[in-house]
Amino acid sequence: MELQLALDLVDIPGAKEVVREVGEYVDIVEIGTPVVINEGLRAVREIKAEFPHLKVLADLKIMDAGGYEVMKASEAGADLITVLGVSDDATIRGAVAEARKQGRQIMVDMINVKDLETRAQEIDALGADYICVHSGYDHQANGLNAFADLAVIKRVVKRAKTAIAGGIKLDTLAQAIAAAPDLIIVGGGITGSPDRPSVASEMQKLVKAG
């Protein structure tokens, strides 16, 4: 089980500051969609250049032109790139093919997928490396979480690794760990803490203990 740090509500200097504080406690640094929108793929390039030992995920939430967008993210140094599960199969297929060519990995984000079980099986067959259940900001505001969704995809996925994201904090981490994903994604649970290194260190210990 691995721990991913999601950086969503920061600029590039702010992202670097957080990674300097907690980078030793995480496996993957995610350049979140808001950062990509505000800063572009330069954010991915700069984080990868400063922290080359860490894997960097570009949360592009690709919906079309999968091969091209994966190529551009790969050029910027992204190790993993996200594609939306509601995308057309051709988009996911193109993203996976380009990722293989570039030596990168694809995470498919299942946010707003209606039939999780069927779509997870289809995406698994398309060759995605990770399938991620995700309670977005708007879901969290309505009190929703992704734990039940994770159980659904774990039941049917045969090849891809599984991931969970959305509102996970230190006090809900045990529940996430018990659900046994391959990757736990934490954003505000670390970045919003007054003592980020302490929280990240504790989370790493719990995640590695399984």
Q: Check pLDDT > 70 for residue 143.
A: no
* pLDDT for the residue 134: 83
Q: What are phi and psi of 130, to 5 degrees?
A: -135, 145
Q: Are 132 and 96 in contact (CB under 8 A)?
A: no
Percentage of the chain exceeding pLDDT 70: 95
Q: Check pLDDT > 90 for residue 136.
A: no
* pLDDT for the residue 82: 98
Per-chain mean pLDDT for the chain: 95
* Alpha-carbon distance values, 60 to 123, 146, 173 (Å): 17, 20, 25
* pLDDT for the residue 140: 58
Cβ-based neighbour number of residue 84 at 10 Å: 21
Q: What is the pTM of this model?
A: 0.95
* pLDDT for the residue 137: 62
pLDDT digits (tens, 9 = 90+) for 93-118: 999 999 999 999 999 999 999 999 99
- Span 75-100, mean pLDDT? 98
Q: Check pLDDT > 90 for residue 141.
A: no
Q: Check pLDDT > 70 for residue 205.
A: yes
Select the more confidently predicted residue: 206 or 144: 206
